[in-house]
Amino acid sequence: MITFQDIFKSSFLENVTSVSLLDMTLALVLAFGVGLFIFLVYQKTYQGVMYSSSFGVTLIALTMITTLVILAVTSNVVLSLGMVGALSIVRFRTAIKEPLDIAFLFWSIAVGIVLAAGLIPLAVMGSVAIGLILLVFVNRKSSRDPYILVLRCADYSCELRAMAYLEEHTLRRAVKSKSAVKGAVELNLEVRLKDGDTDFINELSQMAGVDSAVLVSYNGDYMG
């Protein structure tokens, strides 16, 4: 017959005190703080077309969830083996559209692991360093960044004049595609600007025989 004393001696209840309340609170608060920092950096460095606020919130939640899991794993060896088996069957189907999003996901997971391991200075200082690097390099604008110029000309002679004009007003140009029909020639060119100056496109569009000139920022993810 099971007595009340046997119940209080059960291994399940003994695990309640395996992680102190102070450790849990401190780890989760720090995880929330660093996760919020990761979220703010993500907002400042997002380069995609459609910003997803839910992904930013996911970064905070992922940091805290990882901290929670690692705290449980480090408190019990048997539990750690079961946790590995349980997590091995998890499959994620959501596609990552931006390559940089993968870095933020790994960053959140890594911070959660490091915080739960008790390496607080490493988690905080490492996150600050990573955040500053991302803010500097991702938001850096350069006049050498490529642009796509969609140029529509009336005929071949107009095309030659436009190309001569571009040779004078851009650092580099390369034809990506060209289509010609009767009475029109359309060119897609990759161009590098001089000092980021885009005023030349106004003069180009006014050139005789040029029907239209469209300049589009290009980061290599589309219009290949």
- The predicted-structure confidence for 85-118, as pLDDT tens digits, reads as follows 555 555 656 666 777 888 898 999 899 888 888 8
What pTM was estimated for this model as a whole?
Answer: 0.62
Q: Where are the domains of the chain?
A: 4-138, 146-217
User: What is the three-class DSSP state of 150?
Assistant: strand
Determine the straight-line distance between the first and last CA of the chain, rounded to whole angstroms. Answer: 75
User: What is the three-class DSSP state of 91?
Assistant: coil
- The predicted-structure confidence for 113-150, as pLDDT tens digits, reads as follows 888 888 889 999 999 999 999 888 887 655 466 788 88
In this structure, are strands 184-193 and 210-217 parallel, antiparallel, or unpaired?
unpaired
DSSP 206: T
What H or E segment, with its residue span, contains residue 41? helix 21-45
CATH placement of domain 146-217: 3.30.70.260
User: What is the three-class DSSP state of 19?
Assistant: coil
